[in-house]
Chains A and B, each alone.
Chain A
Amino acid sequence: MAETTTEKPVTPDIELPRARYERRKTTRGNYELYSWVFMRASGVLLIVLIFGHLFVNLLVGDGVHAIDFAFVGGKWSSPFWQVWDLLMLWLAMLHGTNGVRTVINDYAERDGVRMTLKVLLYLAAVVTVVLGTLVIFTFTPCPTGEPADLLPAFCSA
């Protein structure tokens, strides 16, 4: 300050009272915070969804031996299992993709390698989620012209 005189002492810069506290000033947003919260929230839901899925598909009845087209047709003719499997698909793919993204960020040090791996990861995730969603919603349990013994019992009823 050029005009400072000995009569008027310089006052230090004091922040306005009650100014909003900012831990850090950045333009990057809170993406990593939301990702961290999502991993925990989706994780809890996935425990319920996947444990239920494993119990019904591997432990009830003949277990893995009972799984065939008729079994899937029977499950997906009910909106309950359609929603269950759709939720499981989306949450598991987002949870898994975000986890592998973290692993890639940790170990791929070269920018080009890291970028390439993440592009491949996101591509695989989008293809898998879109394919799975289409399959759940366009599935017909009783396709015409297929032998009846391969179809759910209710098809011939």
Chain B
Amino acid sequence: MPSAPAGTLYRGHEGMWSWVAHRVTGVLIFFFLLVHVLDTSLVRVSPEAYNDVIGTYKNPIMGLGEAGLVAAIVFHAFNGIRIILVDFWAKGPKYQKRMLWIALGLWVVAMAGFLPRHLMNVFGGN
């Protein structure tokens, strides 16, 4: 049986793009998690080894990376709640588009709370 040609849009719109974003953020978070467990494991090597490596998380470029990571996690979390509601709430499929916009709205609010505080910590010069 011939497989579908690569690069075909499934159906577009909110349903497909939220699915794409959920996959992309999920894979991203997974690879960070592998690295994060490894860097944290350095506490078993020595305090110096851990402090050296964790020090790289404190430079501004990594600080922006952390902001991106948190943005990915918060989207994945809120869209995950939307997926659960689509699956278990009787009216979930009917409101799936509206729930994506609500999730994105909550994402903006959460990031507006997180970013100033985090960026002040990163660029605050201490």
Is the pair A150, B23 in contact by a Cβ cutoff of 8 Å? no
B80 touches A58 (CB 8 A): no
In chain B, what residue has the closest Cβ to A37?
Answer: B87
* Count: A-B pairs, CB below 8 Å: 109
Complex contacts, A134 vs chain B, CB 8 Å:
44
Q: Is B8 an interface residue (CB 8 A)?
A: no
Beyond A68-B47, A72-B43, 14 additional contacts (C-beta under 8 Å) are: A58-B66, A58-B118, A59-B114, A62-B121, A64-B118, A65-B121, A68-B50, A93-B33, A99-B26, A103-B26, A103-B27, A131-B41, A135-B43, A139-B43
| Interface SS of B by simple majority | helix
Q: Tell me which residues across on chain B come within 8 A of A54, comparing CB atoms.
A: 70, 73, 114
Whether a CB of chain B sits under 8 angstroms from the CB of A52 is no
Chain A residues within an 8 Å CB radius of B48:
146, 150
B92 on the interface (CB 8 Å rule)? no
Size class of the B contact interface (CB-based, 8 Å) = 35 or more
CB of A46 to closest CB in B, whole Å: 8
Give the size of the chain A interface in residues (CB under 8 angstroms). Answer: 42
Give me the 4 closest cross-chain CB pairs, A-B, nearest first. Answer: A63-B121, A69-B47, A96-B30, A150-B47
